């Protein structure tokens, strides 16, 4: 199964390298979001610490949603979906392959956006604890996201439908991630970070379990 996941991940990376240009578009979009927020909220120095975490997470969530919309796009556009399903591999491997390629893309976007964000908003985002929150939050958003992207891929108006389906489901992940980041950026002690952080971990585990249990039903023919 690990080999299959690796192969799927490599396939998505290779097609990106050969000019799908998704990553570049995601990075530019995320940077634009950061800039727009600065003026939309007219961020003063004093409110930056509390609002900054929210800006960072909305930016990540927007970029991740765009990435998720493309996760099954290549398969759909070139009618490769059946080929993928006909391959003698476990269905769950398809889920994890797509989850990991999505995670890799969004983490790469974050790697570019984070330094720029730190510079523009003057916030200490590069702390280990905040990086852990970023990883867990991104994962927590993509866990139900990849599953729902597979659902939306078969529906009409799928690009609009995906965020409508995903935002309310991912609400606990987004809320606890924002809360945890806020506390970390404000320099709070671990006791104040812990409730949100633990809930984030719990949400990740629950969404992982649900995805493992339900993905077979999504790809069944």
Partner 1 sequence: MQKNTGLKILSVSSVLLLVAALYMVFVYAPLEAVMGAVQRVFYFHVAAGWVGALAFFVAFAAGLLHLRRGSLLADRVALCSTEIGLVFMSMNIVSGAIWARPIWNTWWTWDPRLTTATITWLLYAAYLLLRQGIEDPQRRARFAAVYGVIAFASVPLTFAAIRIFRSIHPVVIGAGAPGAKGSFDMTPAMRDTLLFSVLVFTVLYGTLLWHRLRLEQLSERVAQMRLRLLQG
- Closer Cβ to partner 1, 59 or 146, answer by number: 146
- Closer Cβ to partner 1, 49 or 169, answer by number: 169
Minimal distance, residue 138 CB to partner 1, in Å? 17
- Say how far apart CA 144 and CA 206 lie, in whole Å: 10
- Closer Cβ to partner 1, 101 or 176, answer by number: 176
- Closer Cβ to partner 1, 10 or 167, answer by number: 167
Minimal distance, residue 131 CB to partner 1, in Å? 21
Residue closest to 20 by CA, chosen among 67, 61, 62? 67
Residues that bind partner 1 (CB under 8 A): 144, 147-148, 151-152, 154-158, 161, 164-165, 167-172, 175-176, 179, 195-196, 199, 202-203, 206-207, 210, 214, 217-218, 220
73: which residues sit within 8 A by CB, 6+ positions away? none
Minimal distance, residue 17 CB to partner 1, in Å? 33
Minimal distance, residue 86 CB to partner 1, in Å? 18
Minimal distance, residue 47 CB to partner 1, in Å? 18
* Cβ atoms < 10 Å from Cβ of 105: 25
Minimal distance, residue 157 CB to partner 1, in Å? 6
- Closer Cβ to partner 1, 28 or 202, answer by number: 202
Range 150-157, long-range pairs (CB < 8 A, 24+ positions): 150/72, 150/95, 150/98, 150/215, 150/218, 150/219, 151/218, 153/72, 153/75, 153/76, 153/81
- Say how far apart CA 153 and CA 38 lie, in whole Å: 34
> Residue 69 has which token pair?
């919309």
| Axis-axis angle for helices 22-40, 91-121 (nearest 10) | 40
> Residue 108 has which token pair?
């790469």
- Closer Cβ to partner 1, 25 or 73, answer by number: 73
């Amino acid at each position: 199964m690990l080999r299959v996941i690796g192969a799927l991940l490599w396939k998505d990376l290779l097609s990106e390298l050969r000019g799908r240009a998704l990553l570049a578009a995601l990075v530019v979009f995320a940077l634009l979001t950061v800039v727009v927020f600065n003026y939309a909220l007219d961020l003063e120095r004093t409110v930056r610490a509390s609002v900054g975490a929210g800006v960072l997470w909305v930016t990540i969530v927007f970029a991740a949603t765009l990435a998720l919309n493309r996760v099954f796009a290549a398969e759909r556009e070139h009618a490769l979906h059946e080929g993928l399903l006909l391959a003698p591999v476990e269905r769950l491997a398809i889920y994890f392959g797509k989850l990991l390629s999505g995670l890799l893309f969004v983490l790469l976007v974050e790697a570019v956006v984070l330094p720029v964000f730190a510079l523009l908003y003057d916030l200490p985002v590069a702390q280990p604890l905040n990086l852990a929150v970023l990883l867990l939050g991104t994962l927590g958003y993509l866990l139900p996201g990849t599953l729902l992207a597979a659902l939306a891929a078969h529906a009409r108006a799928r690009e609009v439908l995906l965020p409508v389906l995903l935002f309310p489901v991912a609400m606990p992940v987004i809320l606890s991630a924002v809360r945890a980041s806020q506390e970390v950026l404000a320099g709070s002690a671990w006791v104040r970070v812990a409730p949100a952080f633990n809930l984030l971990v719990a949400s990740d585990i629950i969404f992982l379990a649900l995805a493992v249990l339900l993905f077979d039903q999504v790809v069944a023919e």
